[in-house]
Amino acid sequence: MLNFKEEIAKLLDVRVTGMSADEIRETVEIPQDSRMGDYAFPCFKLAKALRKAPPLIALDIAKSLGAEGLFERVEAVNAYVNMFLKKSVLTAAVLSAAIAEGERFGGADIGAGRKVIVEFSSPNIAKPFHIGHIRSTVIGNAVNNIYAFLGYDTVRVNHLGDYGTQFGKMIVAYRRWGDRAEVELRPIRSLLAYYTKFHEEAEKDAGLEDEARRAFARLERGEKEERELWQWFRDESLKEFNRVYAMLGISFDSLAGESFYSDKMDRVLDMLKEKGLLKESDGARIVDLSAFDMPPALITKKDGSTLYITRDIAAAIYRKEQYGFHKNLYIVASQQNLHFKQWFKIIELLGLGWADECVHIPFGLVSLDDGTMSTRAGRVVFLEDVLNRAIEKTREIVIEKNVNTDNADETARQVGVGAVIFQELSNNRIKDYVFSWDKILNFEGETGPYVQYSHARASSVLRKDDTARNAALSGADALDFSYIACESAYELTKLIYRFPDAVLEAGEKYEPSIVTRHIVDVAQAFNKFYHDEHILTDDETERKAKLALVFAAKQTLGNGLRLLGMAAPERM
């Protein structure tokens, strides 16, 4: 698609002295108020070089640019050159690209030949898959989708929490209070109840903690009974996790959790020793990071057992050797900021040369109305319960309003789950928020169902005239753009044009909410166009042109929804 900012920068480059071509390109901006033009060029930086007042410079440039066929008009307003594109030029570029590229519209190939690891979700085995996990899960899935859309070869990794002393506690709890049939019937809820009871009883009997440490030590040694219990806990947990992932439409390329790296940590310890980084501290081994204004990184405990940081270093080395990644992305809560800074610095100190390719993408925390969630105390909201309630509420609305759909249950699933995902991705990822049933089940306003409905509305319009639709999509060259020059059509066209930039910015900033907000704007602009204009007119030429714009809007909404991990219903 024609890059208008680039074209404008080229036109300015031959008219402007005192700024490089790159500086000109970076200075060209899009005014927030469309009355100030489609693009604007501020002339303040030129005043010193040209020894001239910025408004006079702007006037000279505006007069020169006015003769270019790209523009409908060019105006000098104070120190700004405001440029208004010819509507037909922009519309032709947008519709040609949307029709030709289809489901790839908005994508790019900048990542061709480069691999990106995206680690996300990563729940703990034998613990609830709760609402707190939704952030890593849906943000990570969207980041993965965006990078794949930009041409990168992505690898989706679910780094399961399937190792550590908590498994000693779980083994002890199961042996004392567990029931196999109960676990097989309700795996996570039963294991959570045992885990909660362990901590309640441990407050009365300190010996339970020692018993748990001994159980984990036997697990680390590969003792048969402990290993079989651990594997059973893992298998039963994954059955429940996979049911939730299926509801969300999410899959993974790797389920290599912490346990996968248990035999790879001696190598890390050897590397740290060789570099002289490993130090003794009260029987434990650490890496001293005081020179970098960080507390020491604990590598092994007094009993020799390893910690998260050791396993993360081992995992990163394995991934670099296995995949040769361009980027290794970690979608993990902001609570872990220090942890990532520490082990990224250790990777750097080891001289591996790719520490800057590892990126921590933090996000804010989810809390309940009465405080933070606690697995130990059993204070959690199961993610599956949230999704099921959203689906059930949607099903009630579908039946009550007699929604036009071939499959009410499927529509309820798509819209209900989509509402939860969209609500999660509608705000900047770094913000904390308090979980609220009322908010997450509110479908009014700028929500996922609103965008999905807009997509379905566009689909409905296109279905009403197959002949005109097929003619419109046969090629933008044959369309008469004068029929879609009204203000609402042009505002919609501009937003569709900016969709690829929104996707690119979302990738650069690891921020799916940029896509979310943009498709809300597209949906609002489409609905205004729909209400302002008679689309299926008697004039075939006019009808074809307007249907081409409807198609471009539908494609943009659909592609944006899919990037977020949502369905794009054809009927609703």
> Could you say which of 87, 130, 159, 546 is catalytic?
130
**Dist. CA 270–CA 259, nearest whole Å:** 19
CA distance 507 to 359: 13
Cα 370–chain centre separation: 28
Residue 379, beta-bridge partner list: 374
Residue pair 332/362 in contact by the 8 Å Cβ criterion:
yes
Residues 6 or more apart whose Cβ sits within 8 Å of residue 20: none
Q: Residue 130 gets which letter from DSSP?
A: B
Catalytic residue among 48, 63, 86, 127: 127
The CA distance from 313 to 265, in Å, is: 8
Question: What is the spatial distance between Cα 160 and Cα 125, in angstroms, rounded to a whole number?
Answer: 7
Those residues whose C-beta lies under 8 Å from the C-beta of residue 388, and which sit 6 or more positions away, are none
CB 94 within 8 A of CB 1: yes
Q: Is 127 labeled as catalytic in the residue annotation? A: yes
Q: Which of 364, 354, 308 is nearest to 332 (CA)?
A: 364
- As a whole number of Å, the CA-based R_g of the chain is 28
User: Is the Cβ–Cβ distance between 307 and 299 less than 8 Å?
Assistant: yes
CB 301 within 8 A of CB 244: no
* Alpha-helical segments (H) within 186-223: 187-202, 207-221
End-to-end Cα, the chain, rounded Å: 31
3 state SS of 397:
helix
Q: Distance (Å, rounded) from C-alpha 131 to C-alpha 203?
A: 27
Cβ–Cβ contacts within 10 Å for residue 221, how many?
Answer: 9
Q: Which of 133, 320, 455, 554 is catalytic?
A: 133
H or E stretch covering 521: helix 513-532
Q: Using an 8 Å Cβ cutoff, are 503 and 150 in contact?
A: yes
Phi, psi for 365 (deg, rounded to 5): -95, 155
Burial class from Cβ neighbours inside 10 Å (0-12, 13-18, 19+) for residue 367 reads middle
Supply the angle between the helices 448-463 and 408-425 in degrees, to the nearest 10. 130
Strands 284-287 and 297-300, sheet pairing? antiparallel
Task: Classify 116 in phi/psi space as left (phi over 0), alpha (psi -120 to 50) or beta.
Answer: beta
CB 358 within 8 A of CB 344: yes
- Tokens at 23, concatenated: 């500086």
Phi, psi of 253 (to 5 degrees): -90, -25
Is 130 designated active site?
A: yes
Q: Known catalytic residues?
A: 127, 130, 133
